[in-house]
A and B are shown apart, each in its own frame.
Chain A
Amino acid sequence: MSRAYRITVKESDTRHLKAGDEICTQLEILEILPPEDMATLLKEELKKRGFEEQDDGTMLRKDGELTVKIDPCSGEVSVKAETEETINQEAKRDATGFNDVGPSEKSLRDRVKDQLKSDLDKKFEQEQSRLQTKATEKLEKHLQELQPEISEVVNQVTRDALKQKAQQMGTVKEISEDAESGSLTIKVEV
């Protein structure tokens, strides 16, 4: 007599998932002074804002999971967001077999295990995609916050460079700055 039985298989897995996003762009630094002088000014300004000089000459600042890296020589900026999480996932499946016909219990169990493995892979893929979205959103948000700061850095470097240039041209008689309009007037006696 044929008897049905049901087997339940559970699988769980723990994986360490990482996701990241990065954009690279170029700062608009005017060539008021020679490139090496402009790079020095940029480096000084970035140091004031918490950037640290690396061995390769680039300036780096970490804001949590976000990293901002600026190359003062080329003006290249890269902003990177990274997220990582250790995630545990479980999956469960039932299967019915018969003691006289059909696959044996072992082969049935193996088949269910294979299915569970693919279920787990799918779940981890979804988690990976969620982490990726999280990293990208973080990067987008940070870019909006970073933009005014970068603009201020560029403006400050331009102002400093203009002052130095004026000094090179002659005797600086008067410097007036209007913070609101961003205008800078330098009177030089040549």
Chain B
Amino acid sequence: MTRAVVPPRPPEPDGPRQVSKFEFNLLRILRFMVGHFPADQGMQLVRAAVNRPECLSAGAVDLIKDTLGKACILFLVRQGAWRNDKYLRENNPTPGRVWERIPLEERSLMFSRPVLEFLLWATAEKVNDTKAAWDAAPKALTPADELFFWLAFDATRTDPDLLAALRKKDAFRLNPLCWATFPGDMVEGDEITPPNFSPMFEGQRAVLLECLQPHLMHRWIRSERMKGQMGDWKKMRQQGRAEFAALQAFLKAAAEAKRTDLARFVLRTNAALFTSEMTPVFWTGGLQGSGPPRLADRLDTQRSALAVPRQMDILEGWQNAALNIGYFDEGYQASQMWKADWEAVNGNRVAARARATVEMLEPLRGPVGGPPAANPAAAPNDNPEGSPG
């Protein structure tokens, strides 16, 4: 992401830098969190405790800075920054790769103290079982810090103990990137309070979101496909409700910020899912047993499972609004870009298919005298062709 001006670099030492055992562990944990070190070994280091030194050596600090800068930039470039894409800039579509669209000062990542403190804590303590408190106030975090904490959470969340320990901390619990990617992992009970997504659509956070569009799309497609193998009703309900709440809040913030282009991943996820007619069984086919005794709870679980297709209503509303914007109206260029995105994925057909699928779950719908439109308890038995159930 930095091509225009190359920052001055300190001279490289002749051989490998000397670091202590603690610093060596810290660097390996950092590399694990940015995806450059085997996950199994990284997890072991995070779950282990090492005596913390009073300070880090200058060489270790240089290596941390170097790893953070290079790894995060490499990640963003690989995930989508390299693409010659088009995004809104001051309400006008701007084409090009991210380093062509965005000036250097807006895309220079600045990591602050909480990142280093987190790394020291994660190295010194058993993250899953520690009494030493660590947390970072979300307001004090820079966009780059949020990106790092998102990567760290993603790397560790496969371990249930680490997931439970980290999601209690504000640095992760209120991280909008975490909520936009895996909301199901951000909640513990029925209480769902997504963070404020508005800052994500401003400044550098918006640039990060532009880079992550393809990544987010792939993550959501994978998550939707995995739902077909989910057997636990309670887990499905919890995940679906979190996803619904997070996506609703995200889309609302995108519309308010007039950055509908940053919700492209939601549209494209739906387009990838609805390449043909679908039934709710694609999502709910794996649910085991008859589920909760109350029909209301069963229906709520099944509705929750379809959190992503249910967002097409909002996107269709955006499309209708875009169709009504005239040449001399404000936001004409942005609306043209949204229409182009919509047409590129055949949005009308995707929306119709998504609506039909969502309505299949609704009771009291269907032709007169025909079979009941939705008997949610019976639905999991009817597996259509190509469904995972």
Q: Which A residues form the contact surface with B (CB < 8 A)?
A: 21-23, 25-28, 77, 79, 129, 132-133, 136, 139-140, 143-144, 146-148, 150-152, 155, 182
Whether A77 pairs with B296 at a CB distance below 8 angstroms is no
Q: Write the residues of chain B forming the contact surface with A, with a CB cutoff of 8 angstroms.
A: 293-296, 299, 362-369, 372-373, 375, 377
CB distance A147 to B366 under 8 Å? yes
Cα–Cα distance between A77 and B364 once the two chains are bound (Å): 9
Give A147 to B364 CA distance when docked, in angstroms: 5
Contacts of B363 in A (CB 8 A): 23, 25, 79, 143, 147
Q: For A146, list chain B residues within 8 Å (CB).
A: 364
Residue of B nearest to A129 (CB): B293
Asked if B299 and A148 make an inter-chain contact with CB atoms under 8 angstroms apart, the answer reads no
A-B contact pairs, 15 of them (CB 8 A): A21-B296, A23-B296, A23-B299, A28-B365, A77-B364, A79-B363, A132-B294, A133-B293, A139-B295, A140-B375, A147-B372, A147-B373, A148-B368, A151-B366, A182-B368
A residues near B366, Cβ cutoff 8 Å: 147, 151
Complex contacts, B368 vs chain A, CB 8 Å: 148, 151-152, 155, 182
Given A27-B364, A136-B293, 9 further pairs, Cβ under 8 A: A21-B295, A23-B363, A77-B364, A139-B295, A143-B363, A146-B364, A147-B364, A151-B364, A151-B367
User: A23 — which chain B residues lie within 8 A by C-beta?
Assistant: 295-296, 299, 363
Please state if B294 and A136 are interface contacts (CB–CB under 8 Å). yes
- Chain B residue with Cβ nearest A151: B368
Where chain B touches its partner, the secondary structure class is: loop
Cα–Cα distance between A23 and B377 once the two chains are bound (Å): 13
Bound CA–CA A66/B372 (angstroms): 18
Query: Does A21 lie within 8 Å of B294, measured CB to CB?
Result: yes
Question: In the complex the two chains form, what is the Cα distance from A29 to B241 in whole Å?
Answer: 27
Distance in angstroms between the alpha carbons of A124 and B81 in the assembled complex: 62
Select A143's contact among B294, B367, B372, beta carbons within 8 Å.
B372
List, in ascending order, chain A residues with CB within 8 A of B364's CB: 25, 27, 77, 79, 143, 146-147, 150-151
CA distance A28 to B359 in the complex (A): 10
CA distance A143 to B364 in the complex (A): 7
Q: How far is the CB of A144 from chain B (nearest CB, A)?
A: 5
Q: How far is the CB of B39 from chain A (nearest CB, A)?
A: 44
**In chain B, what residue has the closest Cβ to A20?**
B294
Cβ-defined contact, B296 with A148, below 8 A? no
Assess the A140–B377 pair: CB atoms within 8 A. Answer: yes
Give Cα A150 to B293, complex, Å: 25
Between B293, B363, B364, B365, the greatest number of chain A beta carbons within 10 A of the residue's beta carbon is seen for B364
Chain A proximity of B183: nearest CB distance (Å):
24
Closest residue to A68 on the B side, CB-wise?
B364
Contacts of B295 in A (CB 8 A): 21, 23, 136, 139-140
Chain A residues whose CB sits within 8 angstroms of the CB of B362 once the complex forms: 25-26
User: In the complex, what distance in Å separates the CA atom of A140 from the CA atom of B377?
Assistant: 9
Partner of A22, one of B296, B367, B372, B377: B296
Across-interface contacts of B293 in A (CB, < 8 A): 129, 132-133, 136
Give Cα A140–Cα B367 distance, bound, in whole angstroms: 18
- Residues of chain B with a CB closer than 8 A to A26's CB: 362
Residue numbers in A under 8 Å from B294 (CB-CB): 21, 132, 136
Complex Cα–Cα for A155 and B362 (A): 18
Q: How far is the CA of A77 from the CA of B373 in the complex (A)?
A: 15
